[in-house]
Amino acid sequence: MRRAVCTVYLEELNMDYCAIILAGGESRRMRSGKPKVMCEVLGEPMIGWVLDSVRDAGIPDEKVGVVVGADDTVKRYIAGKGTYRTFTQPERKGTGDAVRQAEEMLGEDGNVLVLCGDAPFVDGDTILAALNEHTHTGNDVTVVSAELEDAAGYGRIIRGEDGSFEAIIEAPDCTITQLQIPEINSGVYWFRAQALKDALPKLTTDNSAGEYLLTDTVALIRRNGGKTGIFKAEDPDIVLGANDRAELLALNITAKMAVIGKLLAEGVEFVSTDGIIIGKDVVIGQDTRILPGTIISGKTVIGENCTIGPNTLIDNCRIGNSVVLNSVQAYDSRVCDRVKAGPFVQLRPGTVLHDGVKIGDFVEIKNSEIGMNTAVSHLTYVGDSDVGKGVNFGCGCVTANYDGINKYRTKIGDHAFIGCNTNLIAPVEIGENATTAAGSTITKAVPPNSLAVERAQTKIIDNWEKNFRRKKKA
């Protein structure tokens, strides 16, 4: 997934432009109940990769139309990604028919990008480089192509004896000779909008698929005196898609190794790649070690000199420098410098761990801010709390934040000492330098510098065991 270099940017073009993404394909060969474009690569639906690439190319969301099928899954997903327009293709009648559904996107002038929602590796630089070729040569259509060693199933680029671009022939319609051609259609096109509008009504179903194929517009434009051209991508991976689970697995492996290769070049250390999955938007600093079984996703940013893993999951978090996370699951949280957590720790959304915090094993933190150099020992739950610096939690402590109807916060001052098996019944406040005795259930505010002991009075029953056993035998 190398990136092309482009010198033309959309804002420099004195013309209109838009993009149409074809995302109405079914998942019959995937054996999935969701649309094919919703199948994931590195934890993100393929359509999400394509939308990000179009945005990277500088095309605003409102100028992007997505053609979907009857299923509303894709509509709901892209509604959370941006202000995209959607168009429904009621019946699957081919790629040409799909573009027709979004024909109102086409202006009187300018250019339109058409691409597939199930080809996740096309990138913004390739899109712009193809536009550069398209505009500078004055083409009516420019097709992005690539060469594959194994081109089975892909439409072939047909060139004339002089090397000029003539047509695209889908694989089922190719002759044996044409099937030997390694140059294939990526499914990415730049059209002059008017040329596409003129060609769409002339499409027919006279092909082996019995569908209106967008690829046929190339021959129609050429026959009408239009100029057709090719932009050959440097990276053949941009054409890769998936029609079944085996191909989807291959996409994930390709993407995984591309991301790891990029991180290796940036100074990140991997002792093994076993079980490691890292999302395409993740940023990791140099000298950080990623250990086996680690999954990092979303917009996560990790600093330098960290050790992450083994068996750790981090999603949409910001991690500082010199952090150790061992068997930790962290979601939508912020972890500052020199924090050590694990094993078997969960950081739920809204958690902030300040510098030098230590989190022991079997601890859960939820929607809480933990101050500098605080230690939260093993078997403890801290939820909806504001904890000061230098606080010490003993084993088995709980902030009881929920009364069955509402949730309340707990506040703990600097350098407080929370004894083992303390229950803090929110809303409650523990003052600075205060101590709670082990086994206490604290229901009232504890003033600074004081000791709180809140236990039931001890009651001793003599000879209880002997009497108990006699009754049991009787």
Three-state DSSP class for 371? Answer: coil
**Dist CA 409 CA 405 (whole Å):** 14
Laid out side by side, the sheet with 352-353 consists of 283-284, 301-302, 318-319, 334-335, 352-353, 369-370, 385-387, 410-412, 428-430
Three-state DSSP class for 80? Answer: coil
Cα end-to-end distance, the chain, whole Å:
79
74 — phi, psi (to 5°)?
Answer: -65, -40
HSE-up of residue 91 (Cα within 13 Å, Cβ side): 3
Active-site residue flag, 378: yes
In this structure, the strands spanning 451-452 and 428-430 are unpaired
Write down the catalytic residue from 134, 354, 378, 415: 378
Residues 268 and 300 sit within 8 Å (Cβ to Cβ): no
Cα–Cα distance list, 461 to 100, 362, 457, 466 (Å): 86, 36, 13, 11
- In 317-415, where do the E strands start and end? 318-319, 324-325, 328-331, 334-335, 340-341, 345-347, 352-353, 358-359, 363-366, 369-370, 375-376, 380-383, 385-387, 392-393, 398-400, 410-412
Nearest to 47 by CA among 5, 16, 18, 82: 82
Positions marked active-site? 378
